[in-house]
Amino acid sequence: MRGPHNIWRLIRTGATFQRTGAMGQALDAMNAPRRLRVAARLLGLPFAWLGYRGDPALPPVTRAITALGPAYIKFGQILSTRPDVVGAEMAGHLRMLQDSLPPFPTPIARLQVQEDLGAPVETLFSEFSEPVAAASIAQVHRARRTDTGAEVAVKVLRPGIAAAFRRDIDAFHFAAGMIERLSPSSRRLRPRDVISHFESVVMGELDLRLEAASASEFTENTREDAGFSVPHPHWDLSGRRVLTSDWAEGIPMADVPAIRAAGHDTSRLAERLLQLFLSHALRDGFFHADMHQGNLRIAPNGDIVAFDFGIMGQIDEYTRRVYAEILYGFIQRDYHRVARVHFEAGYVPPDRNMAQFARALRAVGEPIFGADASRISMANLLAYLFEVTERFGMATRTELILLQRTMVVVEGVTRTLDPQINIWAAARPVVELYIRDNLGPRAALRDGLKVVQALGRRGPLLPEVVDRQIDRLSRPEPSTIIVEPTAPRWPLAISLLAAGVVLGALLS
């Protein structure tokens, strides 16, 4: 229920940040204006006693986030990959949110395994460890199958996690609605749509059968990717609340000193990680959308191992082409091309000035090129980009939220491996390959073939469609209703069919 009772939840959120001492630390890390910091402290002090106490042993921001619940933890995981935005110290504190949260008792986990898989743990596994990792949604146990002796990872959902997420998301919906009502200018950002998108993603993460399916599909897509591996799911030992998969041995991505000590080239790993993400997004349209350090390891042979496929991103072919052209335009420093793509895709309202938009994009992109990567402030860059989108009335594209968010996270991870990485130089070969394969003559022929195939599938329906259209157009309209003249659609269908036949003949 998205009623006023959520005001209490939001008040407790602010009060928790105040009580734990996280409010000032968070605002300082984000370089908030001094007046905002003073106002937040003055307004928050009277309500501090209403906040959750949290674990006093934790740093303030981590203490507040863990006390507030899983939805807040998800947001903290994103910030943990951005030391350039929140500072290295806070990013280090937040990193524990990735896989080092307090676990729930092992007997409860064993009971859930028995209920979900229909047999006692002792029957299914000859070994079943205490939790080896715990995050916001679930925790992982190291185990060994009784039948094959294979070493596996058993992921078990936290008890009551679905209800906790629903409570938080309910408050987020209420807050988004209040923001839209109180600030009409915020509607272009579509806060309610963004929360709905977040809700659909997170609630899907709570069914581990879907995660197993995502892992299976992702494995098939990336089978030929050098230096990358994915643990296979074990379907016979998986259910809604339990997921069993291959055990992934390796060094956690967050432990950069250990990675270097093992002899791995962190600069090369950073470049490979970024290129793999772009390949999955552009080539397959299906990518890992939660690629923080807690979900990545470096295998002894140097492979990047990804796991935890609860959040996956999917984008259609047209959107992939638009995104690739935007990236390519920035890489080529062709801001007029980037602006034109935005207008053609409908991302910017047609009544805005394209030349002015191109100049605004130049002001975003030019400071990046030729600059030392360590001197680029991503916080300042994002702030200015936000100003540009607001000035030109760009609405939030919910279909790109996961892609954009994951790009930010992946960049943060690569910078922990190599603070000097040149993001644009690393991305260039992947984007150029995609542009060459998908925007050239061969791509046009493939598109034409798809048209022929679509017409072939729908061919038996064309006579019925034509008859229905002619009947509708030949019926007299009521005299009291004014109807705009409508061009018949059947000539277009026949023209497409003829074009398809000709193209099919050429292709054969």
Domain extent listing, the chain: 5-99, 162-203, 249-439, 444-507
Q: Using 70 as the pLDDT threshold, list the residues of the chain that sit under it.
A: 1-6, 27, 29-33, 35-44, 78-79, 81-88, 98-100, 182-190, 194, 197, 368-387, 389-390, 395-401, 440-456, 459, 475-508
Starting at the edge strand found earlier in the chain, the sheet holding 251-252 runs: 228-229, 304-306, 296-298, 251-252
Q: What are residue 125's DSSP bridge partners?
A: 145
pLDDT of residue 258: 96
In Å, the largest CA–CA distance within the chain is 84
How far is Cα 60 from Cα 53, in angstroms, rounded to an integer? Answer: 10
Q: Which two tokens stand for residue 352?
A: 């805005």
pLDDT of residue 127: 95
pLDDT of residue 472: 77
Q: What are residue 245's DSSP bridge partners?
A: 153, 233
pLDDT of residue 141: 96
pLDDT of residue 68: 82
CA angle at 147 for the pair 142 and 150, rounded to the nearest 5°: 40
How far is Cα 55 from Cα 252, in angstroms, rounded to an integer? Answer: 25
Query: Could you give the residue ranges of the DSSP H alpha helices within 45-69?
Result: 60-68
Q: Given the residues 290, 303, 308, 418, select the one marked as catalytic.
A: 290
pLDDT of residue 174: 78
pLDDT of residue 381: 58
Place of tokens 């395994």: 113
pLDDT tens digit string along 460-483?
A: 777 777 777 777 777 665 544 444
| DSSP structural state of residue 283 | I
Closest to 377 (Cα-Cα) out of 415, 418, 328 = 415
Report yes or no: 293 and 266 within 8 Å, Cβ to Cβ: no
Report yes or no: 215 and 232 within 8 Å, Cβ to Cβ: yes
Burial of 22 (0-12, 13-18, 19+ CB in 10 A): buried
Closest to 394 (Cα-Cα) out of 328, 330, 326 = 326
Report yes or no: 217 and 233 within 8 Å, Cβ to Cβ: no
pLDDT of residue 467: 73
**Active-site residue, 290 included:** yes
Other Cβ atoms less than 10 A from the Cβ of 493: the count is 17
pLDDT of residue 92: 73
How far is Cα 65 from Cα 72, in angstroms, rounded to an integer? Answer: 6
Closest to 53 (Cα-Cα) out of 86, 23, 90, 15 = 15
Half-sphere exposure of 44 (CA within 13 A, CB side): 23
Sign of CA dihedral 254, 257, 263, 268: positive
Q: Where are the extended beta strands (E) located within 60-199?
A: 125-134, 138-145, 151-157
Distances 23 to 48, 81, 88, 224, 427 between C-alpha atoms, Å: 10, 20, 18, 47, 37
Encode burial over 397-433: b for 16+ CB neighbours within 10 A, e otherwise.
Answer: beebbbbebbbebbbbbbbbbbbebbbbebbbebbeb
| Residues counted in the chain | 508
